[in-house]
Amino acid sequence: MFFIQIQMSFTERQIKDLIQERGIEMIKIGLLGFGTVGTGVYEIINNTENNLRRLLNKEIEVSKILVRDINKKRNVDAPKDIFTQNPLDILENPEIDIVVEVMGGIDKAYEYICLAFKNNKHVVTANKAVVSKYIDTFLELSNKYDKGFLFEASVGGGIPIIKPLKQSARINNISNVRGILNGTTNFILTKMCDENLSFDEALDMAKELGYAEADPTDDIQGYDVKRKLAILSSIAFNNKTDVDSIMCRGISSISKVDIKIFKKLGLVAKLVGSAVSNDNNYSASVEPVLLNEKSTFTTVKDAFNIVSITGNVIGELQFYGQGAGKNPTANAVVSDIFDIVTGQYKKDSFVQNGKLISADIDLFKGRYYIRVSPNNKSDISKILKLMDLDKFKYEILSMNEDLIVITDVVRADKIEQFLSKLNMLEKEYCYMRIEGDIMNLKYEAK
């Protein structure tokens, strides 16, 4: 406490002189990117009221920040000479100990992270896109140069999931990882269910409130969740999950008609990322699924996230919290910095030596809700004939304007094969797997 009080009353130059006189170690950080997360990291580290310095007995300083435009007006009080447009001012600076990559993108981020390792620097990143694609390369470089590579903020924002997942995977055979991993889509589905909004109306609300980007494609089509799931399953199964092997579809085909039927069935729609392993195979998917209205996942509303892991020793563990936002994500980044400075990262390191083979989506099965809205009502009979030819067992809920059926348990790949035969536009049908042991669905047409 005494040190913090001195820090608050002295100038920055005097503080540095005092640190040198007392022999307190200085940890220097280079920030690649200064957007929402980058500014959050800078503010936390420079907040004189935080506990970092007291807990570490070390001084932490952001000494250089890579930006596109040095002269841009910013709402953060930072000295102008801290900014640079040359990444080598950080990556080849021998005084910088930790490189924090928060600029996003893939190609440049990959290049800079690799160069940071080769220059004997620790790396912390919040970039799910680059981690999901190159996690195996980064782990290899991390081990080769004996440097930390931490990426807690890449999944779940402020939810601490990466570190406990690493720890659990050491002593458990993890068979299942699943989660609601995107706040935008969860907000949209919540509003569609609770306030009877259409998809477009809920998306517009999400944009107005800042939950959705101007271009929400990555969120609503499931690409954001796909990257996060690839990271989680790569750790859980001790085996790199190829992000491109994950079947992915979004929520834009869900209509008000579907929501109305779900409510009658006692089901709730959620966009869920799931990865399962069985023997030497794994399957991974990102898709809207239907859950019992009383399940834990259905209580997760608006922009909140939940992650569930199942191991042979621990059973099921669940992690819940805000999945995005400036402060939660920046907090996760700074927590990783703390683990590097204290050496904790060495205890949580891991290698990928699994030999699992992708089984596409063959390991998923369940009952399916299918709604088809053909342009010509006479096509309904043709669709039912196709289902009969594929030997589906099903219950018809409606044959009015739309054909709505619930199938018996069927493998996911069989459903995909059937739907491909319809040759219909995505907006003309909706299909969702019903998760859990929900065998006796009661539906009353009105």
Residues annotated as part of the active site: 228
Residue by residue, DSSP assigns 96-134 as --EEEE-S--SHHHHHHHHHHHHTT-EEEE--HHHHHHH
**Spatial separation of the C-alpha atoms in residues 195 and 312, rounded to whole Å:** 40
Task: For tokens 């739907």, name the residue.
Answer: 419
Q: Where are the beta strands (DSSP E) in 298-419?
A: 304-311, 315-322, 357-358, 365-372, 394-398, 403-407, 410-411
- Beta pairing class for 357-358 and 267-278: unpaired
**Spatial separation of the C-alpha atoms in residues 271 and 290, rounded to whole Å:** 9
- Spatial CA neighbour of 275 closest among 357, 176, 181: 176
Q: Where are the beta strands (DSSP E) in 182-303?
A: 247-248, 267-278, 281-292
Q: Which pairs with CB-CB distance under 8 Å and at least 24 residues apart come from 81-86?
A: 83/34
Burial 243-282 (b: 16+ CB within 10 A, else e): bebbbbbbbbbbbeebbebbeebebbbbbbbbbbbeeeeb
DSSP 297: G
Angle between helices 162-171 and 223-236 (to 10 degrees): 40
Neighbours of 19 (CB within 10 A): 18
Cβ atoms 65, 136 nearer than 8 A: no
- Residues across the chain: 446
DSSP 242: P
The answer for residues whose C-beta is within 8 angstroms of residue 381's C-beta and 6 or more apart is none
Cβ atoms 232, 179 nearer than 8 A: yes
Calculate ∠ Cα 273-384-263, nearest 5°.
45
**Spatial separation of the C-alpha atoms in residues 5 and 217, rounded to whole Å:** 48
